[in-house]
Amino acid sequence: MSQVLIAEDNAGIAAFVAKGLRSAGYAPVVVGTAREAWEHAQTGEFDLLILDIGLPDADGFSVLRRLREARNSMPVIVLTARSSVTDTVAALEGGADDYMPKPFRFEELLARVRLRLRAEGAGGAEATVLMVGDVSLDLRTRRARVAGKEVDLSAREFALAEMFLRNPDQVLSREQLLSRVWGMDFDPGSNVVDVYVRYLRKKLGADVVETVRGMGYRLPTNGSGE
């Protein structure tokens, strides 16, 4: 049974994540400070760390930095309420394996936990680049490319593109996308998904995302779009 260390000072979020991981078959341990996170991480007993950046006694980035300086390669998924590209890049360049912006949906966090633990179990052989057609996403560096040319995506645009590339040819409803990318309950009056799909089409190509009328969107592997 994989042991997951959760460094989160918000008791409600910590309990929510721990309960979900326990139900999924993991053994979670919760700590609420950077000092405890560092001390527990150094024991070698944990397979993965879920690390909040806003810890009360020190910035979570300091824990991440100390781990990597100590050559501790344990996978780290950063949780943060900071959504700027600067903070995202800082987390990933600082040695984080993945990040989740708050608010988040547990099912997406669980998918990321499973991905990182599979990669660790395979000696790092798990692919960190998603590719469908001419579009590729590097999950470690958070860089997007179209036909080899780098494209600048915001954190939310990248998350939405990642959802499509992880589920090629599958129809994803607006409700699913709101839940998994924005962490929101479905609001039938919201058009934020449609707006961001338009952003992706402008940056990745007009045909990259197909509209399935009355159902949602999908990324076709044959390259045909709306």
The CATH code of the domain that includes 26 is 3.40.50.2300
pTM of the full predicted structure?
0.55
Tell me: do 137 and 62 sit in the same domain: no
CATH number for 207: 1.10.10.10
In a domain, 224, yes or no: no
Tell me: do 91 and 156 sit in the same domain: no
Distance CA 161, CA 70 (A): 34
Q: What is the pLDDT of residue 216?
A: 92
Given 72, 102, 121, the domain boundary residue is 121
Per the structure, the count of domains in the chain is: 2
In a domain, 77, yes or no: yes
Tell me: do 72 and 180 sit in the same domain: no
Q: What is the pLDDT of residue 55?
A: 93
Range of the structural domain that residue 59 is part of: 3-121
Distance CA 147, CA 162 (A): 17
Q: What is the pLDDT of residue 81?
A: 78
Tell me: do 87 and 174 sit in the same domain: no
Ranges of the chain whose pLDDT falls below 70: 1, 82-90, 119-127, 183-189, 223-226
In a domain, 226, yes or no: no
Q: Give the helix/strand (H/E) hosting 89.
A: helix 85-93
Tell me: do 117 and 135 sit in the same domain: no
Tell me: do 203 and 147 sit in the same domain: yes
Tell me: do 47 and 133 sit in the same domain: no
Q: What is the pLDDT of residue 154?
A: 87
Q: What is the pLDDT of residue 191?
A: 86
Let me know: does 113 contact 78? Beta carbons within 8 Å.
no
Tell me: do 144 and 94 sit in the same domain: no
Given 121, 142, 171, the domain boundary residue is 121
Tell me: do 17 and 63 sit in the same domain: yes
Q: Which residues of 166-199 are buried (b: 16+ CB within 10 A; e: fewer)?
A: beeeeebebebbbbbbbbbeeeeeeebbeebbee
Tell me: do 133 and 157 sit in the same domain: yes
How many angstroms separate the Cα of 212 from the Cα of each of 67, 116, 161?
45, 32, 17
Q: What is the pLDDT of residue 126?
A: 45
Tell me: do 213 and 178 sit in the same domain: yes
Given 101, 121, 141, the domain boundary residue is 121
Tell me: do 74 and 142 sit in the same domain: no
C-beta atoms surrounding 118 within 10 Å: 11
